A and B are shown apart, each in its own frame.
Chain A
Amino acid sequence: MFLSGNDAAAYGARLARPQVIAAYPITPQSPIYERLSAWDGEGSLGAIMMRVESEHSAMAACISASLTGVRTFTATASQGIALMHELLHYASGMRVPIVLVNVNRSLAAPWSFWSDQTDSLSQRDTGWLQLYVADNQEALDTVIQAYRISETVLLPTMVVLEGFYTSHFMEPVEVPEQESVDEFLPAFKPAFTLDTHQPATFCQTVTQRQYAEFKIARQSAMIDALEVVEAVDREYGERFGREYGVLNCYRHDDAEIVLVTAGTIGSTAKEAIDELREGGKKVGLVRIRLFRPFPKARVVESLKHAKRVAVIDRNLSPGQEGVFSEELKSALYSRVDNAPVFSFVLGLGGTNVSTSCIRRVFELTEKMQNVPVNPIFDIENDDALGF
């Protein structure tokens, strides 16, 4: 089928057979909500659709519905995920396997509607798994995978698309058969639920020590999730013929300069890399698909032959740098022969990161004498870059 990323995500959600969906509209997520509502209208959704009055209530409803043992889904973006922030912590603390699609969009102020990963990356410490997808097919496949992962590790998962780049562009997408998805994704049957036959109280006040124990248990689940993500992806690949890895690498084995990025810049980069390879440059790509848990060992392994690393972030942690760059440096710190990491913050607010931008990033990474302390925002200004 020829689908937008939003529609692909909606198809993925419907194929996973959630029983309760709660949503609130926000650009650029609204087409997901509309698609699900259209299916609800024609009787083919198979879930109860809650048209709530805010994203905060959408997440509250998903948490409590999930505690009764039903599969839940929601989708949001930008201000919406910021409004949910309090309850994102709550969801992972309650260990409910909610799947949420976030369509990256710039956060106000000022108002903007285009892609920027700062909305989802600001949720870094909420205890959600985060998977960043590069195209529409991957959006559909990752939503289905996310349920299997979440229900195995009992943590919620955020599947992250990019506003307009993935959400609205249309691509051919293979939509799996319902029966195959049912085989891949068995019914959700949690051990503990809100059940009148086995009454229990959920989420009480705890002591300092108990609190620490709960948080360490969640951390263990997070760490274990890495291998679950990989196993689920492999099994998905065997069944459906598509797998993505926690890192999606391209021509990086013998690459001297490796570009690290996430989301759609990763698919644009493949084209730039092909062009540069034709010119004899040894360049490659590591696209980080799994952001939480951060696949530290995999990242270090993937960069072991790299002489230089360039990171492109479509996000910014003010006063620091791009978040992927920061995380990457933290992962590489344990390496003895650290490769220098050059940090670029490009594409904020949805600014296009074209193949020529990416070629320029490689060129600068090759030429620069010293690693700048601060990230590079302007790749065209030679003076500022010290050339």
Chain B
Amino acid sequence: MRSDSDRKENLFPGHMACAGCGEVLGLKLVLQAIGEDAIGVVVPSCLGIILGPFPNASFKIPTFHAAFETAASSAAGISNALLAKGDEKTVVLALAGDGGTTDIGFQALSGAADRNENIIYCCFDNEAYMNTGIQVSASTPQHAWTATTPLGKPRKKKNMVELMAVHGIPYAASACSCFPDDLRRKIVEAKGIRGTKYIHILSPCPSGWKYPEKLTPNIGRLAVETNWFPLYEVRHGREYRITHQSKGLPVEDYLLQQGRFQHLRKEDLLAINDRVGREWEELKRKTVTIQSDELS
């Protein structure tokens, strides 16, 4: 592991994220990896809070706080303007939450991906509308409690990496803020590719998922190590690679640490376990798993 001291921080301290926020951890890593030659677009989400109230700002890169459903279209406007100005160097980074991506911003994102706009789109997924309270989104997992699904969400989570991959974009990946090297590598990788790059970052949220703040790193790691949220990448919609070989821990190790899943019954857990196992096998079939020495 390299030390953090050789990395330039692009997020000022003193931002307004909650204690134990998994999203700001991911954001810090993304901004480290993206460097200074980048323009950001943030849309309403917890990111809008982290960005700071006028006249304070936590981002060191120039950033536009755009309308909710326009992360992709606003980023595309900037990338085309840069092209018009002959600037092929500056990276355009769209930063949105899961509501802004999987629900209200999905049309604009699909349009941008269809046109293969030259942007890096990061979805910080805390699996509900956390900025407005805790309301259900398409990215909320099945069974999870939210303030608008008091009995648990009936339908399963929208799989954004797969949806973006089928657009045939050059790069789509899942990542987690609790796997810093994997996340940073994916951002660096995306920087080197022209076209639409989509990175879906699972961002544990103590206040929304109902677990003690200090557990954020454990929760994120368990999501991956139980295969609940595998880390992988897809090039051109075809070439799948799992980027972290998980330990295959029982999924209840992840679920039962969170208040939002406390109401799960034994049969629910069995069904979830089956589904997670099945989806993991399906993913593996599509994938050439890379050796662990390639990951170091």
Contact = CB atoms under 8 A, between A and B. Distances in A.
Contacts of A67: 64, 78
A202 B77 CA distance: 15
B37 interface: yes
A50 B49 CA distance: 31
Interface string A56-75: 11001111111111100000
Contacts of A205: 48-49, 53-54, 65
Contact of A52 (B36, B64, B111): B111
A57 B39 contact: no
Nearest to A201: B57
A351 to B, nearest CB: 35
A64 B77 contact: yes
B161 interface: no
Contacts of A298: none
A64 B41 contact: yes
Nearest to B52: A204
A70 B85 contact: yes
Interface size range on B against A: 35 or more
B77 A203 contact: no
A275 interface: no
B135 interface: no
Interface stretch (A192-200, A254-262, A280-288): A192-200
A210 B54 contact: yes
Nearest to A194: B62
A227 interface: no
B81 A87 contact: no
Interface string A30-61: 00000000000000000110111110110011
Contacts of A64: 41, 64, 66, 70, 73-75, 77-78, 81
Central interface residue in B53, B57, B81, by most chain A CB within 10 Å: B81
A204 B53 contact: yes
B59 to A, nearest CB: 6
A70 B84 contact: yes
A19 interface: yes
Interface in B230-265: none
A206 interface: yes
B60 interface: yes
B61 A53 contact: no
Central interface residue in B36, B37, B66, B75, by most chain A CB within 10 Å: B66
Contacts of B65: 201-205
A143 interface: no
Contacts of A90: 66-67
A284 B247 CA distance: 85
Contacts of A57: 70, 72-73, 76, 107-108, 111-112
Central interface residue in B60, B61, B70, B73, by most chain A CB within 10 Å: B73
Contact of A22 (B39, B62, B77): B77
A7 B41 CA distance: 35
Nearest to B91: A196
A378 interface: no
B52 A60 contact: no
Given A56-B69, A64-B74, A201-B65, A206 B53 contact: yes
Contacts of B76: 50, 52, 57, 61
B62 A195 contact: yes
A265 to B, nearest CB: 35
A271 to B, nearest CB: 44
A70 B80 CA distance: 10
B74 A63 contact: yes
A86 interface: yes
Contacts of B287: none
Interface in B96-121: 107-108, 110-112, 114-115
A353 interface: no
B134 interface: no
Given A205-B53, A210-B54, A61 B73 contact: yes
A198 B57 CA distance: 14
Nearest to A58: B73
B90 interface: yes
B64 A202 contact: yes
A22 B115 CA distance: 13
Nearest to A19: B84
Contact of B57 (A68, A69, A204): A204
Nearest to A57: B73
Contact of B81 (A68, A200, A201): A68
Contacts of B283: none
A21 B90 CA distance: 20
B117 to A, nearest CB: 8
A201 B51 contact: yes
A62 B108 CA distance: 14
Interface in B26-54: 36-39, 41, 48-49, 51-54
A65 B81 contact: yes
A194 B108 contact: no
Given A64-B41, A68-B85, A205-B53, A50 B77 contact: yes
B115 A51 contact: yes
A20 interface: yes
Given A60-B73, A204-B52, A205-B54, A65 B80 contact: yes
A199 B60 contact: yes
A201 B62 contact: yes
Nearest to B16: A205
Central interface residue in B41, B64, B65, B77, by most chain A CB within 10 Å: B77
Contacts of B52: 201, 204
Given A53-B114, A57-B73, A194 B64 contact: yes
A131 B108 CA distance: 30
B62 A200 contact: yes
B54 A206 contact: yes
5 contacts: A19-B81, A57-B72, A203-B66, A205-B53, A205-B54
Given A57-B112, A204-B55, 19 more contacts: A22-B77, A53-B114, A56-B69, A60-B66, A61-B76, A62-B77, A63-B66, A64-B70, A67-B64, A67-B78, A68-B81, A200-B62, A201-B57, A201-B64, A202-B65, A204-B51, A206-B53, A207-B53, A210-B54
